[in-house]
Chains A and B, each alone.
Chain A
């Protein structure tokens, strides 16, 4: 960076900027601080929380209770299983589709791409009643194996919902890669499938990682669908479970809820900050495409 001597005026301006930004940071992060403080507080209630608790008052009791006396881990486990399988399934089916749409010529290609864009316009609210009915029907048909109140039902809902977006992202990424590598493979006599497995897949790894993460975070934070599908307490996801845990019980469960918030946020925070750059780019593109 070039060295420029700043005038007094500029220095005062910068000082004001810092002051404003620090104030903004305090205001923005106050709720987060408050919850962190609550998670180490003695007793359960929302009542009489000090702004600055002394070290002596702090305790890990809330975390201990959360782990041993609530269903938090069960809900966390349900959520993680749903997220893992739905993102894996979505990935598995969209990587080949993205490849086909980017590199192959076939009748209906343009029409297919258009359909996917239109599919993205359907709000979740539109499908929710039908999905509920569909899963109800599936439960009756499979004797409760797939459908309402099952993890597999939830996985299907999310895997299906993510397909258009994933396919577009993967196709877009492939469009940006040069074709020379594959062409030389064809010259060496490789078939299209061999080229896909040996050459394209390794090239796609970065975008696959990003898409998988998106598909992981989405279901993790969703409340709408699990609140419809997962009705039994043992099948709750974290979002549904934590809401049930705190609803109308602020006075008794607040500090344990705070501990649950911290533990529940950590996996996503870690992922988010390690992939922040891609998140911003990916979501911008996603936002642009609706």
Chain B
């Protein structure tokens, strides 16, 4: 027989967590959802009204649509490119570090994990100084290299080739590529070793990606090494007995097993980067800005929503964006739960 006291005991045990969670996670999120349907903003700070779907209509129409489209497109590129870069570098480092004859593995691993171990806000701010156009370390190094005749010559050759291909594509009226090459030629012609890392829109996008991949590859590398070590060596031994070459083994054993182990990690890493606020906000604050536009050229949905809320005090619109972010993240998470069986308790 279970006494009355025992029946209540579980609820007593979970009560503190549940109460805190209701007030600090559940209610705020529901409240944000509600704000997305109001005109809460600087002009309606004390008294704001329910306005139905107006904020959502605004996102998908008029001048805001243009902001939304460009920010959303860049968010997708950003998250995909980040994950791709992290996995690529993770793989490139994990394979040698999984070689059993390689000495000093622990040393290398420790060194590569350092970018992960330093608090990210510190490293991102650090990079802001390192990528400074005039005085940053990278440009100082590049300008030094540029003065060396060989590199100078190489740049000249590269420029010559660009012009050559530009003429070909221009002659063939393939304007898209011709324009791209023309831009590259202009860049090379004006190049003196200085790259406008954070001041030019496209370079700023490259910069935030470099920094984000630098921050994130150690995690991927660690996971990949773990996944490689989890593959039972008997599989390889059995394959060699059957006469499979190392190449066959790689494609028949390593690749499929690694892929199934990595898929959930890749999906959650995509979701994580989709929402990676710090790497962008602390490096470029979403900038550089474009005339007549609210979103900067490196703004992703999260940083844009943050700026709408706390720089422009358009809380209603910011929450509409947040709801959109939530829908995407929630769909990705549910795919992942299916994959990993997290719901099967």
Residues of A within 8 A of B (CB): 1, 4, 6, 10, 14, 17-18, 20-21, 24-25, 28-32, 34-35, 38, 45-47, 49, 51, 89, 92-94, 96-97, 99-101, 104-106, 109-110, 112-114, 116-134, 156-157, 159-161, 163-164, 167, 192-193, 217, 220-224, 227-228, 238-239, 242-243, 246, 250-251, 254, 257-258, 261, 264-265, 268-269, 272-273, 276, 280, 283-284, 287-290
Distance from B330 Cβ to chain A, minimum over Cβ atoms (Å): 5
Residues of B within 8 A of A (CB): 6-7, 9-11, 13-14, 16-18, 20-21, 23-32, 35, 93, 96-97, 99-102, 104, 108, 110-123, 125-130, 132, 135-137, 140-141, 214, 219, 222-223, 226, 264-265, 268-269, 271-272, 275, 277-278, 281-282, 301-302, 305-306, 309-310, 315, 318-319, 322-323, 325-326, 329-330, 332-333, 336-337, 340, 342-343, 345
| Nearest-CB residue, chain A, relative to B16 | A93
| Count of CB-CB pairs between chains A and B under 8 Å | 267
CB-CB under 8 A for A24 and B112, given A126-B32, A128-B306, A161-B24 = yes
| Nearest-CB residue, chain B, relative to A273 | B117
| CB-defined contacts of B113 to chain A, threshold 8 Å | 276
CB-CB under 8 A for A93 and B111, given A46-B136, A223-B121, A288-B264 = no
Would A119 and B325 count as touching, CB distance under 8 A? Answer: no
Would A129 and B136 count as touching, CB distance under 8 A? Answer: no
Query: Which one, A49, A93, A126, A159, contacts B137 given CB within 8 A?
Result: A49
Would B24 and A159 count as touching, CB distance under 8 A? Answer: yes
CB-CB under 8 A for A125 and B305, given A223-B121, A242-B121, A288-B264 = yes
| Nearest-CB residue, chain A, relative to B316 | A129
Given contacts A28-B214, A223-B282, A288-B342, 15 further A-B contacts (CB under 8 A): A17-B102, A30-B137, A31-B126, A45-B135, A47-B135, A93-B20, A100-B13, A113-B345, A118-B330, A119-B21, A120-B333, A123-B322, A127-B32, A257-B125, A273-B110
CB-CB under 8 A for A127 and B135, given A160-B24, A273-B117, A288-B265 = no
| CB-defined contacts of A46 to chain B, threshold 8 Å | 129, 132, 135-136
| Nearest-CB residue, chain A, relative to B321 | A125
With A and B bound together, what is the CA distance between A75 and B272 in angstroms?
Answer: 28
Query: Which one, B96, B117, B123, B125, contacts A21 given CB within 8 A?
Result: B96
Would A250 and B135 count as touching, CB distance under 8 A? Answer: yes
| CB-defined contacts of A20 to chain B, threshold 8 Å | 96
Distance from A107 Cβ to chain B, minimum over Cβ atoms (Å): 9
With A and B bound together, what is the CA distance between A35 and B138 in angstroms?
Answer: 12
With A and B bound together, what is the CA distance between A63 and B30 in angstroms?
Answer: 46
Would A167 and B306 count as touching, CB distance under 8 A? Answer: no
| CB-defined contacts of A109 to chain B, threshold 8 Å | 10
Would A17 and B96 count as touching, CB distance under 8 A? Answer: yes
Give the top 10 A-B pairs by smallest Cβ distance, nearest first. Answer: A160-B24, A100-B13, A97-B17, A130-B28, A106-B10, A130-B31, A93-B16, A221-B119, A46-B135, A272-B117
